[in-house]
């Protein structure tokens, strides 16, 4: 296997860079396209003879995750990210893009609705963007057609 470094454009038209293992340049390019990335530049970084032993607490392989979320401005953003675990992908997206995620799943796997991991992680994440308070419509009194008095606590 050979390690290739790349620069590419993601689905949000942003330039990203990283590295990917593949048998050859064509296989690396094809793998990037499979990750919904448009390659700009791919270079051979090094030939891998034997993988170094991985620490026992971290997986050796990275998984491509698809994500969708909204920023503080309310704009919906979609993309892909490579990470060893779903939690690492979540943390990187929150730190780098400050999104409130609505979906984070390995590529090719249907997303769980609702995603229990996202609900727990976002509620405990200190970087969670503050949502604007929602205004509720006034309750109407069906008899007199006037606003009902709010209940006292």
pLDDT at residue 39 in the model: 92
Whether residues 43 and 67 share a domain: the answer is no
Whether residues 66 and 111 share a domain: the answer is yes
Give the Cα separation of 127 and 90 in Å (integer). Answer: 12
pLDDT at residue 116 in the model: 85
102: tokens are: 């609505």
Give the pTM: 0.45
151: tokens are: 């209940």
pLDDT in 10s for each residue of the chain, 153 residues: 788 888 999 988 999 888 888 888 899 899 889 888 999 999 887 665 555 555 555 545 788 888 888 888 888 888 888 888 899 999 988 888 888 888 898 888 888 778 888 888 888 766 544 444 444 444 444 444 455 556 566
Q: Is residue 150 situated within a structural domain?
A: no
pLDDT at residue 9 in the model: 92
pLDDT at residue 40 in the model: 92
- Residue range(s) defining the domain that contains residue 77: 61-127
Number of domains the chain is built from: 2
Q: Is residue 40 situated within a structural domain?
A: yes
Close Cβ partners of 66 (under 8 Å, ≥ 6 residues apart): 36, 78, 79, 80, 103, 104, 105, 106, 107, 111
Q: Is residue 152 situated within a structural domain?
A: no
Whether residues 20 and 73 share a domain: the answer is no
pLDDT at residue 73 in the model: 86
């Amino acid at each position: 296997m050979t390690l290739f470094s790349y620069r590419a454009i993601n689905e949000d038209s942003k330039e990203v860079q990283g590295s990917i293992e593949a048998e050859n340049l064509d296989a690396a390019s094809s793998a990037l396209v499979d990750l919904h990335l448009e390659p700009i530049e791919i270079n051979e970084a090094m030939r891998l003879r034997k993988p170094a032993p991985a620490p026992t607490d971290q997986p050796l392989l990275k998984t491509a995750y698809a994500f969708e979320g909204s920023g503080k401005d309310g704009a919906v953003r979609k993309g892909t990210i490579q990470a060893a675990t779903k939690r690492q992908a979540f943390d990187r997206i929150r730190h780098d893009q400050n999104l409130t995620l609505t979906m984070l799943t390995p590529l090719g796997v249907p997303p769980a609705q609702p995603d229990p991991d996202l609900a727990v992680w976002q509620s405990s994440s200190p970087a969670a963007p503050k949502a604007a308070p929602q205004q509720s419509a006034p309750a109407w009194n069906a008899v007199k057609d006037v606003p009902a008095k709010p209940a006292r606590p």
